[in-house]
């Protein structure tokens, strides 16, 4: 009994250190924030534009991840095929490289003079310094998160549910939409939220692919560099608040 207690005492002390390291900056940011300045930041047209660019681009990236990632995740969960493990590993590479490198990769492959970029520009999608460039860069760095979340959600569903639905008269597609998707909804929704949050937080790839239109994370850097730490605080507090809300929503979903 005593030994267990002393173990927990030691671990509590060690654990507290990392808790402090993580929490102090968040608390400090709020303490140093003047709410009036946050209010002013919310009236600042440049801030509002950057926020709207960031949020809509992140939403577009998330919707793309949902639309194309969900079917992929289902196949990965339900079928075995040649080189499947290799493919799954490669899909996680964007999470393992510096985001500036991710930006270079996206730019290299899709810039308007590349062969794919040329086709894209014909339908009006130019990557450099454009909204679509932001979306593409965000998708590149955040889609792997969605795919693996949805995949593990699908893997956890007992296939027998689908089998029974089939015998009851539901075809493959009906089964997928009435049984599989509802049962995997928690993983899909939380995966989408994390994907969106990850997209919002992207800096490195956007710096390379599309510094303009300005996204909010780049605006923080710009304000910091031009006017110093205190100028960056209101936007920082705002983004921190959004991050906290996202985490609380995720927490709520996973407990539901």
Nearer to another protein, 155 or 166 (CB): 166
Tokens of 237: 């507090």
CB nearer another protein, residue 5 or residue 158 = 158
Q: List all residues 6 or more positions away from 11 whose beta carbon is below 8 Å from its beta carbon.
A: none
Site string for another protein, 135-174 (x = CB under 8 A): -----------------------x-xx-xxxxxxxxxx-x
Nearer to another protein, 116 or 168 (CB): 168
Rule CB under 8 A: is residue 179 a binding residue for another protein? yes
d(CA 151, CA 73): 4
Q: Which of 178, 230, 251, 254 binds another protein (CB under 8 A)?
A: 178
The pattern of x and - marking residues 208 through 227 that bind another protein according to CB under 8 A reads --------------------
DSSP letter assigned to residue 111: S
| # binding residues, another protein (CB under 8 A) | 18
In whole angstroms, what is the distance from residue 245 CA to residue 224 CA?
Answer: 24
Tell which residue, 252, 244, 186, 203, has the closest CA to residue 103. 203
Q: What end-to-end distance do the CA atoms of the chain give, in Å?
A: 35
Residue ranges in contact with another protein by CB under 8 A:
158, 160-161, 163-172, 174, 178-179, 182-183
């Amino acid at each position: 009994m005593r030994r267990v207690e002393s173990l927990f005492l030691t671990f509590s002390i060690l654990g507290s250190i990392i808790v402090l390291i993580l929490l102090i900056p968040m608390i400090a940011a709020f303490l140093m924030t003047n709410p009036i300045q946050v209010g002013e930041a919310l009236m600042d047209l440049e801030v509002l534009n950057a926020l709207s660019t960031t949020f809509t681009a992140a939403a577009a990236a998330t919707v793309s991840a949902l639309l194309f990632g969900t079917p992929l995740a289902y196949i990965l969960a339900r079928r075995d095929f040649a080189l499947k493990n290799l493919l799954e590993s490669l899909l996680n590479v964007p999470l393992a490289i510096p985001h500036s490198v991710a930006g270079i990769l996206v730019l290299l492959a899709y810039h308007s003079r590349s062969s794919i970029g040329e086709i894209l520009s014909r339908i009006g999608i130019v990557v450099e310094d454009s909204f679509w460039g932001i979306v593409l860069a965000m998708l590149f760095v955040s889609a792997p998160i969605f795919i693996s979340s949805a995949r593990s959600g699908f893997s956890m569903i007992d296939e027998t549910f689908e089998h029974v639905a089939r015998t009851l008269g539901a075809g493959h597609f009906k089964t997928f939409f009435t049984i599989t998707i509802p049962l995997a909804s928690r993983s899909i929704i939380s995966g989408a939220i994390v994907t969106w949050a990850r997209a919002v937080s992207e800096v490195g790839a956007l710096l390379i692919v599309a510094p303009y239109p300005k996204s909010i994370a780049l605006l923080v850097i710009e304000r910091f560099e031009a006017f110093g730490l205190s100028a960056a605080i209101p936007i920082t507090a705002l983004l921190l608040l959004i991050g906290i809300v996202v985490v609380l929503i995720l927490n709520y979903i996973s407990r539901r």
